[in-house]
Amino acid sequence: MAVSRAVPAGSVPAGSVPGGRARGGTPRAALAALLAGNRRFVSGQPVHGHDVTAAAASASGDQQPYAVLLGCIDSRVPLEAIFDQTFGSICVIRTGAHVLDRAVLGSIEYVVEALGVPLVMVLGHERCGAVEATVEALRSGRRPEGALAHLVDRIAPAVTEVGVDDPQVRPLAIRRHVARTVATLRADPLLAEPVDAGRVAVTGALYDLATGEVALLDPP
């Protein structure tokens, strides 16, 4: 079995970009950027303001998060950062356009039931690529290949409800998809009872890529 080795500090392969942001770079450069960032984190010398070294150690015991966030995989929407949360405070689940599947539902059910988390937030964001792909698929009539088709199929109802030819279909479908995800979670058999009893709230929100602001779409 091959053994991977951390890239020594200061050794940055060709093709890498400071901060780990590289388009069309190499796998080695990407790995080096990640490992370099972890070394900065461990040494307490972050360059992006996420100095939570002490919090990492203090969070090594039992976890007691107060919220679970379901968001998109978009690299511009790092949930711990935009809510300024440290280790142990929130559970984060990310899928393309926060699409639900059984694994995601099971994870949320576990966090609510086993850890007693009282808040579930579904966070959409402006200019979502998965929603854009769904709009284009419906307009062209060409369903994507592979598992991407699953994402499109799950987002398509929101686009259809808005109207694929509506000039504002993209921003409106993003909001509609958040609302549909919230409704699905509230109706989940293991979440409905605590939601109805007021012990758990499920709410939707939208992240503005330009301003960094989160706006509630459906206050609990």
Q: What is the mean pLDDT of each run of 10 residues along the chain (220 residues)?
A: 36 40 66 74 70 59 87 94 85 97 97 93 96 97 94 98 97 98 97 94 93 86
Domain ranges of the chain: 8-51, 62-216
- What 163-168 contacts at long range (C-beta under 8 Å, 24+ apart), as own/partner pairs, is 164/135, 164/138, 164/139, 165/139
- HSE, side-chain direction, 13 A CA sphere, residue 60: 5
Domain 62-216 sits in CATH 3.40.1050.10: yes
What's the pLDDT score for residue 6?
36
Residue pair 11/32 in contact (Cβ under 8 Å)? The answer is yes
Residue 186 phi/psi, 5-degree rounding, is -65, -25
The number of beta carbons lying within 10 Å of the beta carbon of residue 46 is 14
pTM flag (> 0.75):
yes
- Neighbour order of strands in the sheet with 119-125: 90-95, 67-72, 119-125, 201-207, 214-216
